[in-house]
Amino acid sequence: MKTDARAAAARVLTQVIESGRSLADALPPYQNRFADARDAALLQELVYGTTRWYFRLDALLELLLKKPLKSRDLDIKCLLLTGLYQLDKLSMPQRVAVNETVQAVRALDKEWAHGLVNAVLRSFQRDRERLNRVIAENPVALHAHPDWLIELLQNDWPIYWREILSANNARPPFSLRVNRQRVTRDEYLGLLEEHAMHAEPLAWTGQGICLTSPVSVEALPGFSCGDISVQDGAAQLAAELLQLAPGQRVLDACAAPGGKTALILETEPSACVTAVDIDAGRLSKVGENLARLGLHAELVAGDAGNPAGWWDGGLFERILLDVPCTATGVIRRHPDIKLLRRREDVMKLASRQSAILQAVWPLLAPGGMLLYCTCSMLAAENSGQIGSFLEQHGDAMEAPIDANWGHRCGHGRQILPGEDEMDGFYFACLQKNI
């Protein structure tokens, strides 16, 4: 069955590269085919690991192949990449990695590739030191990122770009949010110990914890009754930054799947929250998440860039604007971003963000506060975006974020991926003049 996991990995990766499907979309149907959880876990490890190291593995493969494979044999290329990943980065016995990967050609119906896969993997084993020296000269292979993203990060983070690239290639922590309406963080940490699970409090939040070894969410005590949710520590900072007060009208303008909607309501249960998302399918996830937690918000499927379609005319005291972005701060969680995003997406997303920000600003009450955030590392979506907005809106004032986490930017504050176990995240607080 392990052979099938490798062939399935090749198929999933083919879909990501050829059709631009995300791993979150392409992987589950294949995982569900495995009765044995170990095969599903191996498949997950292979696709996430190979994607994480794609630009390094691809450079190695180019050196190892005498001539490039035909485009119709992308599945074999992907199988070879997963084989190289196992030899390069995993601690499994090398003999097993080679033999099982070679056998997987049968499950792909490409018996002709048996000799090729065997030859490529064995020549990597023989020649790996020389190959590593050759690719060390190539920044794309060395940092395992696309060239356009390396360039943008060098430009926006001249001191930290290497740390950012390296953090993007690390495995993410398993971060959780304790529902303080139901249980304290200390009580929940005690509950985990009783279940032989160890976790540490996350810095800078009153409710975040980090589990030492990942488990399925269903295995977490109290998950089904709403004691605990999966959420990165950086995202959890939104609650404090919003400075919520009882009974406020709050707009969560890009809400799905509802992580921050739930955080707002767990922090201030009397808040009157309207959760908007343009994607009705994703919005239904907000409903499911809130139902599990016993929380309530008004759910609206609509375009935040065009409030006329859904707004009742009542002003909001708080607006959370967690805009769609390049997600370049969460690459360690979603390594397929390196393959799916293009340089031109940055400006397209920046102009969508600007349109949404301009459209929701009139919905904010005088004296109210809008929290703009992204999981991007790029200035065009963050500090640059807020700078242009402030130039054009005389009734907006930036409320500086005085914090011990992250880095102050021209406008707003940025957390780099991996800092204090958090994802790369950007926040800016905008206040409306009275």
Ligand X SMILES: C[S@@+](CC[C@H](N)C(=O)[O-])C[C@H]1O[C@@H](n2cnc3c(N)ncnc32)[C@H](O)[C@@H]1O
Please list the active-site residues: 375
Nearer to ligand X, 151 or 303 (CB): 303
DSSP string spanning 415-429? EPTTGGGPPPEEEEE
CB contact at 8 A, 278 and 255 = no
The helix/strand count (H/E) of the chain reads as 17, 13
Cβ closest to ligand X, residue 212 vs residue 306: 306
Burial of 25 (0-12, 13-18, 19+ CB in 10 A): middle
Indicate the residue among 235 and 244 with the shorter CB distance to ligand X. Answer: 235
Burial readout 227-249 (b: 16 or more C-beta within 10 A, e: otherwise): bbbebbbbbbbbbebbebeeebb
**Secondary structure of residue 276 in the 3-state scheme:** strand
Which residue in the set 139, 201, 206, 257 belongs to the binding site for ligand X (CB under 6 A)? Answer: 257
Residue 46 or 254 with smaller CB distance to ligand X: 254
Distance between start and end Cα atoms, the chain:
66
Please tell me whether residue 396 binds ligand X under the rule CB under 6 A.
no
Instruction: Give the nearest distance from C-beta 169 to ligand X in angstroms.
Output: 22
CB of 80 to ligand X, least distance (A): 34
What's at 328, amino acid-wise? Answer: T
State the minimum distance, in angstroms, from the CB of residue 117 to ligand X: 39
Q: 156: which strand partners?
A: none
259 binds ligand X (CB under 6 A): yes
- Tell me the window of 14-22, 166-174, 239-247, 257-265 that interacts with ligand X (CB under 6 A): 257-265
324 within 8 A of 373, measured Cβ to Cβ: no
What count of other Cβ atoms lies within 10 Å of the Cβ of residue 123?
Answer: 14
* Position 241 contacts ligand X (CB under 6 A): no
Nearer to ligand X by Cβ, of 56 and 334: the residue is 334
Residue whose tokens read 């599945």:
75
Q: What is the C-alpha separation between 286 and 294, in angstroms, rounded?
A: 12
**For residue 50, which of 353, 335, 372 has the smallest C-alpha distance?**
335
* 398: amino acid identity, one letter: E
With CB under 6 A as the contact rule, the residue among 258, 368, 406, 417 that binds ligand X is: 258
Closest distance of CB 88 from ligand X, Å: 32
Which of 25-33, 45-53, 252-260, 400-408 is the region at the interface with ligand X (rule: CB under 6 A)? 252-260
3 and 107 in contact (C-beta within 8 Å)?
Answer: yes
In this complex, which beta carbon is closest to ligand X, that of residue 104 or of residue 356?
356
Residue 171, number of CB atoms within 10 A of its CB: 12
Tell me the closest approach of the beta carbon of residue 288 to ligand X, in angstroms.
12
Residue 193 binds ligand X (CB under 6 A): no
Among positions 268-307, residues that touch ligand X (CB under 6 A) are 276-279, 282, 303-305
Task: Provide, rounded to whole angstroms, the least separation between the CB of residue 349 and ligand X.
Answer: 10
CB of 257 to ligand X, least distance (A): 5
Q: Is 260 in the site for ligand X (CB under 6 A)?
A: yes
Q: Is 39 in the site for ligand X (CB under 6 A)?
A: no
For ligand X, which is the closer residue by CB, 156 or 423? 423
Tell me: does residue 322 bind ligand X (CB under 6 A).
yes
CA distance 46 to 52: 10
What are the residues binding ligand X (CB under 6 A)?
235, 254-260, 276-279, 282, 303-305, 322, 324, 356
